[in-house]
Structure 1
Amino acid sequence: MKKMKAVVLKEFGAVNNFEFAEVDLPMIKSDEVLIRIMATAFNPLDYQMRQGLREKELMVGSILGVEFSGVVVGAGQDTRGFKVGDEVIACSVQKGSNGSYAEFIALSFHELVHKPKNIDFGTAASIPVSGMTAWLCYNRMNYKTDDHIFINGASGGTGRFLILFLMHYKITNIVVTAGNPESIAMLKGMGILETNIIDYNSPDLEQRILKANQGMEFDHVVDLVGGEISETTARVLKVNGNYVDVTFFGTQTTREILFDKGANILNIAVYAEIDNNKVLKTISELIEAGKITVPKVNVVGNLGVATAVKAHELMESNRTRGQKLVMVND
């Protein structure tokens, strides 16, 4: 049996449970392709799986990683639209033979999208989860002219893609939070007014958010953070407004506020809507056409335990500085 290298999780818990190992190379089914992974992007889902939280139910074996870019190196007899040598991207949650902290993965051709030709593999790996999550947020809000939007945690991967989509469709009534100079500068560079970027460390956070919206509550709020700050996100939403929940980490108080406001709670779970990858295909085409750009990524290192440990520690301590973290294969 041929082997491949991978970063394996020995058991749930701390980052010291990662080890570098040789494991069996995936065998492809008739509708699958074998992909040499060129780069994998780290996602908060990864450390939540590693910790043994509810996301562990999405794991396939002991190799983490849910989004990647790569090159097709083998194809089953029933595959269509992809051939050896094609450059691809995918979100492999619940679908692939293993996670993306590895040299190879087997995946149905239905879950693949051709990589935009105008970006490199590291940048491309950052697209699937953040891009699709942001696209689903945008579409399910059912935005109307002159609606006002608040995004809590806008400087992360999903927040940045959401801003790109909103800007692309000429939606500019946007207020956001950020917590460090780098994130604030990045958001300003994307076109968000400085007066509409609120430091989430402010003691009077709720009042500052509302002031940026001329004292009005918002038609739509997007929670990309969870925890206690989600309570503030809920409070600045208008009655019967849309609460777009990407985290599932709101508190009991958050739920009570939303109930009292009769809010429309839109749960965004990208892995519920990845079949046939229509959303990812649309995003890839927009990028290749130059209609939207992909936010800058931080290449943490090559495939290995040290890279995985560093990335997980940066994500858990909220020190990504608004950049998607990426691991590349030599």
Structure 2
Amino acid sequence: MKTVVLKEFGEVNNFEFAEVDLPVIKSDEVLIRIMATAFNPLDYQMRKGLREKELMVGSILGVEFSGIIAQAGQDVKGFKIGDQVIACSIQKGSNGSYAEFIALSFHELVHKPENIDFEMAASIPVSGMTAWSCYNRMNYKADERIFINGASGGVGRFLILLLKHYKINNIVVTAGNPESINTLKELGILETNIIDYNSPDFEQLILKANQGKEFDHVVDLVGGEISETTARVLKINGNYLDVTFFGTQTTREILFDKAANILNIAVYAEIETNKFLRIITELIAADEITVPNVNVVGNLSAETVRKAHDLMERNHTRGKKLVMVNS
């Protein structure tokens, strides 16, 4: 089968095209023809050899996809040849999703909602489950206020959709370019609650949008120095949802001084039964929430993978999940 493999840790030019043997399925596995694969920041962190490399199962990266079942083992239940499925394959599949096929246990699958295409479906697993974990663990109470740092990305958009679905509107967010601002406005965020992180008085504007008060919950989807601002606008004993693990030493000190509840959101810790993914797909299938727009970067090739990694690293995704298709 056709794949894109990583020769060694480092830059994007370390990806190359390769032909490898088709995976052989076990009795509880299915062989899936991958129709679309979504790119995730986890991917380039693996490529660089950062701590996420521990999640790698080989030289083929990619952790989320949609596809069609081509073969099914004798112990597979609830799925059959021809079914359209989606999955988050972290540590579970025969290989990553930068490939034509993958072997995976049926326990890791959910059926693709019929009302969306393969490209949109591929973008759901990591972003959708991470957003659900954020919503679920913040344990929101009536009239509490939420600040989301980096809301125009895949997780942020899904989280906004979920919060809006559950009638939660007390949301302040950040954005840094016109495309991201428009995306957030389309999701129902008030323009007065969208703060440009390029503003010199960034932190004061965030608090002003909350009537000068600190927030009950803050969600950090960015990391780095800007996470320090995210920590400073949190109230004493508030919830700090860390999705990146990229906060600074100063961030940790601020949160300690505020006696904050630090909620580490690591979706790969909670995918055993795909409960979260099933909840998300059921909401989508019922037209209760939509899927954020995607950007189809190209067909399965080393060139497409290099381009997608470059766009993610330079933060040039413009508020859209990047997707690669198998034609």
TM-score under structure 2 length normalisation: 1.00
Which portions of structure 1, spanning 4 or more consecutive aligned residues, are displaced by more than 3 angstroms?
none
Residue 186 (structure 2) aligns with: 189
Q: Counterparts in 2 of 1:72-83, with a 5 A limit?
A: 72-83=69-80
Residue 211 (structure 1) aligns with: 208
Q: Measure the CA separation in 2 of the matches of 1:194 and 1:316.
A: 27
Q: Measure the CA separation in 1 of the matches of 2:151 and 2:99.
A: 30
Q: Measure the CA separation in 1 of the matches of 2:186 and 2:64.
A: 26
Q: 2:21 aligns with which of 24, 37, 54?
A: 24
Q: Counterparts in 2 of 1:36-55, with a 5 A limit?
A: 36-55=33-52
Give how far 1:16 is off: 0.6
Taking only the aligned residue pairs, the percentage that are identical comes to: 83
Which AA in structure 1 matches 2:299?
Answer: N
Q: Name the SS of the counterpart of 1:219 in structure 2.
A: strand
Which AA in structure 2 matches 1:47?
Answer: Y
Residue 260 (structure 1) aligns with: 257
Q: Counterparts in 2 of 1:125-204, with a 5 A limit?
A: 125-204=122-201
Q: Measure the CA separation in 1 of the matches of 2:185 and 2:277.
A: 26
Q: Aligned pair 1:247/2:240, yes or no?
A: no
Which AA in structure 1 matches 2:319?
Answer: G
Residue 14 (structure 1) aligns with: 11
RMSD: 0.4
Q: Measure the CA separation in 1 of the matches of 2:101 and 2:201.
A: 49
Measured against aligned partners, the alpha-carbon deviations of 1:90-133 in whole angstroms (never above 9, x if no partner) come to 00001000000000000000000000100000010000000000
Q: Measure the CA separation in 2 of the matches of 1:229 and 1:278.
A: 32
Give how far 1:214 is off: 0.2
Q: Name the SS of the counterpart of 1:172 in structure 2.
A: coil
- Gaps (5+ residues) in structure 2? none
Residue 296 (structure 1) aligns with: 293
Measured against aligned partners, the alpha-carbon deviations of 1:295-314 in whole angstroms (never above 9, x if no partner) come to 01000000001100110000
Q: Measure the CA separation in 2 of the matches of 1:261 and 1:175.
A: 20
Q: Measure the CA separation in 2 of the matches of 1:200 and 1:35.
A: 42
Q: Aligned pair 1:65/2:62, yes or no?
A: yes
Q: Measure the CA separation in 1 of the matches of 2:175 and 2:250.
A: 23
Q: 1:95 aligns with which of 76, 92, 96?
A: 92
Which AA in structure 2 matches 1:136?
Answer: S
Q: Measure the CA separation in 2 of the matches of 1:150 and 1:17.
A: 38
Q: Measure the CA separation in 2 of the matches of 1:282 and 1:210.
A: 33
Q: Name the SS of the counterpart of 1:250 in structure 2.
A: coil
Q: 1:308 aligns with which of 305, 308, 324?
A: 305
Residue 33 (structure 1) aligns with: 30
Give how far 1:150 is off: 0.0
Give how far 1:49 is off: 0.2
Measured against aligned partners, the alpha-carbon deviations of 1:132-159 in whole angstroms (never above 9, x if no partner) come to 0000000000000000000000000000
Which AA in structure 2 matches 1:99?
Answer: G
Give how far 1:203 is off: 1.1
Give how far 1:276 is off: 1.2
TM-score under structure 1 length normalisation: 0.99
Q: Name the SS of the counterpart of 2:93 in structure 1.
A: coil
Residue 268 (structure 2) aligns with: 271
Measured against aligned partners, the alpha-carbon deviations of 1:206-227 in whole angstroms (never above 9, x if no partner) come to 1000000000000000000000
Q: Measure the CA separation in 1 of the matches of 2:182 and 2:37.
A: 26
- Gaps (5+ residues) in structure 1? none
Give how far 1:80 is off: 0.4
Measured against aligned partners, the alpha-carbon deviations of 1:68-109 in whole angstroms (never above 9, x if no partner) come to 000000011111000000000000001000000000000000
